[in-house]
Amino acid sequence: MNEKAEELNRVEKKDLFGSGHRACGGCGQALAARLVHDAAGENTIACVATGCLEVFSSPYPDPCWRIPFLHSLFENPAAVASGVEAAYKALKKGPVNIIAQAGDGSTADIGFQCISGMFERGHNVLYVCYDNEAYMNTGVQRSSFTPYGAWTSTTPMGNPTRKKNLPLIAADHGIPYVATATVDDFRDLQRKVKTALSIEGPKYIHILVPCPLGWGHPGELTVKICRLAKDTGLFPIFEIIDGKVTNVKKIPVKVPVEEYLKPQGRFRFLFKKGVPTEKVAEIQEIANQNIERFNL
Amino acid sequence: MEKLPLGLAMDLRKVVPYKTGSWRTLMPVNMMQTPPCTQSCPAGNDIRGFLRVLAEKQDYEEAWHVLTRTNPLPATCGRVCPHPCEAGCNRRDFDTPLAINSAERAVGDYGLEYNLKHKKLISKRKEKVAVVGSGPAGLSCAFHLTKRGFQVKIFEANSEPGGWMRYGIPSYRLPNYILKQEIEKILELGIEIECNVKVGVNIPMDHLTRHYNAVFLGLGAQMGTSIKIPGEDAQNVFSGVEFLKLINSGQIIEVGRDVIVVGGGNTAMDCARVAKRLGANVSVFYRRTRVEMPAITAEIDEAMEERIMFRYHTNPVKIITDEDRVVGLLCGQMELKEPDASGRARPVPIEDSESIYPAGTVIMATGQAVDYDGIEIQKQNDQWISTNENLMTSIDGVFAGGDAVLGLETVAVAIGQGLRAASAIEDYIEGNVESQLAPPPVIYSKDLNTYYYTQEKRFSKEAVSIHTRLKNFREIYPSFDRQEIIKEAERCFSCGLCFYCGNCYMYCPDNAVKISPSTGKYDFDLDFCKGCGLCAKECPCHYIQMTLER
């Protein structure tokens, strides 16, 4: 038992998602992709939807992947991964880790029916969503993961709706494992990937990845912003195993949401000459609801 | 072209990565910084260095060698130093500063217990240097000169080496056998010593300047100065210096039932605590208040713990004698007025406020001066030796340091001056131009990313109960548990030096931080680094910094 726990907690660095990609400096998604694939190991097939990750990591002739890589359309990474899994079954090959992955637009909007189908059919696939809260690849358009009040190019006055809670929707499909994570706690993230891959059936991991360009913060703050998202209660960290919410990451010292909003350009208009407007109070209310709901 | 299996566009294992380093405008560099502990240590000890050795390797021997690079008296300093390093420690803004002083003592004691030897740096030279006085300044200067290969001879006026550490500091603070062993270790390097020789009296100064290439004067300030009140020549009136010297030479003094110590410096505290151990009721009379007392705070606290009375705003006017023996002290009350030249409030007597206090012994610890008997040298304020910035005095080739130059200071300050004088003497003999490299910038709390540190309890040393400690002259802090000191060393932030936390390695989105195969340290792969600054921001100890592109 102890050996297994040690194996899960060990930090992995194998550079399977290597140097030389074209992501912006301080990109959260590039960091998350490396952490996920290093945890998964060499015996992995990456099925990646169109999006930032695909664009910056795979241009010919020098992609940065060191494992088999499949590029799919915006809407169907889950369907492609399901097909890969079915093919392995038919050929009686394996076992192999199949990771379907996409950004938030592909996951929450365009590709949602494929994901729902994959969960419902029960394929042995890990689905990883890199959530940067807008369509960053095509020019910062609003997605249904964009949080309340955030600026995007299609919501210049701030997003009027609240973020879709996909981890809970995924859990309601009755899949065995759902988790949320951020890039700041790499131990926790890699442990969750390894735990997920050790479970048979469809799994879903939701990772918050700051986008310095779209969020309007310096690249050096990527990790700090993640930490603030957790500590304000805006992004709860938990696991759902067999339908039960467990391992909720408690907030050590609660931080007011202003500290999370202020360094980010997309929330700048919520402050008039440094004084928060009433929208900030509404965002604080969302954070408070999260804290109460998940007992953070 | 190589033939690939059907459907495979390219072999991903054979890709030459695209070099993204050309995008960079700022680049990360590993920059060692001066930690605030070393900055505030008068002896310039590598405190972070020896604490990291303790924490990472649990190796007391190596820690001792790191520490004795600058300070040849770690066991002594670990006991008597007022540790300004702890006031500088960046951990003070996080939880509590490290117990650096206790760690130093533990390392020093280990060196004595396992009889570790100092390492000599280079082979012998023919130049000779005379060191006058074997106090901390003289010993430190002799030690560093010998390590540089010079032939050093020490002249000591007393019968045993150690200067004020031997004859001034009472043994409940610094046991004699500890000091003796540490001095023996220094002398083992090949330093000649001649005791009972007072330069200026037994041999003239000219003799030294003629026969040696350079001379270092570590005279100390071991002569009590009086405040000139009637009755001072009575029996049982001592100067503080005289009293401590008699006690430390092993003489027994009948102090009587009541002892009054006049003064507020470290000598006054030592005299009071010694008198208390001789069984008397002791009061300290000081003409200002506790705030203005020049003594080390911990010393005052311990004296108060030992139930020594403090009477402030009180100034002696006359010693009352009966058949040439002290029976009492006539004192006047003072009030404090605007600050004087020293920055302290100026005491002014209140009229008709005199009263008499009974006393069997009066100890006047009211100031110390240098004993210049037979030494002609230029002075500042007619009191301390004047030197230039290289510690050279008015006589060519004669250097000076320690209390005789600075006024009353600590052991660590004297050790630091000895080291400085040793480099100055080396430059003087070799005819070098004195050149000093600027040390790296000091790192402060605001530069650190303290998210990655956890709050932990500070090591606290346990004193012997007051009841037992007043019965004898034994040390009041028994030796420490070595494992606990290692735990304390693990609290060190390692400000400005990598401690292999791996944050940069794990957080780099471009995998541009590599482990160097030759050194095993983290290094930047500038072919791929985009200069985002994430590693610098998440480096806990500010070792990584962003600089302009070269």
Asked whether residue B519 is domain-assigned, the answer is yes
Contact B522, B432 (CB under 8 A): no
Element (H, E) at B356: strand B355-358
pTM of the model: 0.88
Of B327, B350, B366, which residue sits at a domain end? Answer: B366
> Same structural domain for residues B354 and B240?
yes
B502 near A CB under 8 A: yes
Contact A25/B23, CB-based, under 8 Å?
yes
* Chain A interface residues (partner B, CB cutoff 8 A): 11, 13, 15, 17-28, 30-31, 34-35, 60-69, 183, 186, 212, 218-224, 227
> Same structural domain for residues B397 and B455?
no
At B324 the three-state DSSP class reads: coil
Rounded to the nearest 5 degrees, what angle is found at the Cα of A138, between the Cα atoms of A135 and A142? 30
Contact A62/B16, CB-based, under 8 Å?
yes
Asked whether residue B442 is domain-assigned, the answer is no
- Cα separation, A68 vs A47, in Å, equals 9
CA torsion, points B212, B215, B220, B222, in degrees to nearest 10?
40
Q: What is the pLDDT of residues A246-259, one digit of tens each?
A: 999 999 999 999 99
Instruction: Give me the residue label for tokens 């790499």.
Output: A186
Residue A1: pLDDT band with limits 50, 70, 90:
low
Count of A–B CB contacts within 8 Å? 99
Question: How much is the average pLDDT of B445-468?
Answer: 91
Chain A residue numbers touching B12 (CB-CB < 8 A): 63, 65-69
B536 near A CB under 8 A: yes
| Mutation target among B18, B508, B529, B544 for the A interface, most CBs of A within 10 A | B18
Kindly report the nearest CA distance between residue A216 and chain B, in angstroms. Answer: 14
B506 near A CB under 8 A: yes
Average pLDDT of the residues of chain A? 93
> Same structural domain for residues B237 and B160?
no
Measure CB to CB from residue B15 to each of A15, A63, A68 and give the nearest one: A63
Residue B433 structure tokens:
């131009």
> Same structural domain for residues B207 and B157?
yes
Q: How many domains does chain B have?
A: 4
Contact A186/B507, CB-based, under 8 Å?
yes
Kindly report the nearest CA distance between residue A122 and chain B, in angstroms. Answer: 28
> Same structural domain for residues B362 and B375?
no
Residue A294 CA neighbour count, 13 Å, CB half: 27
Question: How much is the average pLDDT of A265-271?
Answer: 93
Residue B26: pLDDT band with limits 50, 70, 90:
very high
> Same structural domain for residues B250 and B355?
yes
- The CATH number for B518's domain is 3.30.70.20
Confidence (pLDDT) at B344: 80
Residue B414 structure tokens:
């004297």
Asked whether residue B440 is domain-assigned, the answer is no
B528 near A CB under 8 A: yes
Q: Which domains does chain A have, with CATH numbers?
A: 2-294 (3.40.50.970)
CA distances from B465 to A189, B471, B477, B478, B492 (A): 53, 11, 10, 11, 30
Residue B434: pLDDT band with limits 50, 70, 90:
low
Kindly report the nearest CA distance between residue A241 and chain B, in angstroms. Answer: 28
B511 near A CB under 8 A: yes
Kindly report the nearest CA distance between residue B279 and chain A, in angstroms. Answer: 55
Confidence (pLDDT) at B343: 78
Q: What is the pLDDT of residues B323-353, one digit of tens each?
A: 888 999 999 998 888 888 777 888 888 888 8
> Same structural domain for residues B293 and B417?
no
Measure CB to CB from residue A223 to each of B502, B505, B507 and give the nearest one: B507
Question: How much is the average pLDDT of B316-328?
Answer: 89
Confidence (pLDDT) at B124: 83
Task: Give the chain B residue nearest A64 (alpha carbons).
Answer: B17
> Same structural domain for residues B82 and B162?
no
Asked whether residue B6 is domain-assigned, the answer is no
Asked whether residue B437 is domain-assigned, the answer is no
Residue among B90, B95, B47, B55 at smallest CA distance from B457: B95
Kindly report the nearest CA distance between residue B500 and chain A, in angstroms. Answer: 14
Contact A28, A189 (CB under 8 A): no
B279 near A CB under 8 A: no
Which structural domain, as residue segments, surrounds residue B328? 231-366
The gap from C-alpha B518 to its chain's centroid, in whole angstroms, comes to: 37
- Cα separation, B261 vs B254, in Å, equals 15
Contact B19/A63, CB-based, under 8 Å?
no
Residue B1: pLDDT band with limits 50, 70, 90:
low
Task: Give the chain A residue nearest B513 (alpha carbons).
Answer: A19
> Same structural domain for residues B52 and B150?
no
B23 near A CB under 8 A: yes
Asked whether residue B87 is domain-assigned, the answer is yes
The interface predicted TM-score (ipTM) is: 0.92
Question: How much is the average pLDDT of A84-105?
Answer: 93
Q: Which positions 246-265 of B are in contact with A (Cβ < 8 Å)?
A: none
Residue B173: pLDDT band with limits 50, 70, 90:
very high
Measure CB to CB from residue A220 to each of B16, B20, B536 and give the nearest one: B536
Q: What is the pLDDT of residues B203-225, one digit of tens each?
A: 999 999 999 999 999 999 988 88
Chain B residue numbers touching A183 (CB-CB < 8 A): 507
Asked whether residue B25 is domain-assigned, the answer is yes
- The CATH number for B83's domain is 1.10.1060.10
Of B366, B392, B416, which residue sits at a domain end? Answer: B366
Asked whether residue B354 is domain-assigned, the answer is yes
> Same structural domain for residues B191 and B214?
yes
DSSP states of B357-403 as a string?
EE-SEEEE---EE---TT----EETTTEE---TTSB-SSTTEEE-TH
Task: Give the chain B residue nearest A209 (alpha carbons).
Answer: B509
At B199 the three-state DSSP class reads: strand
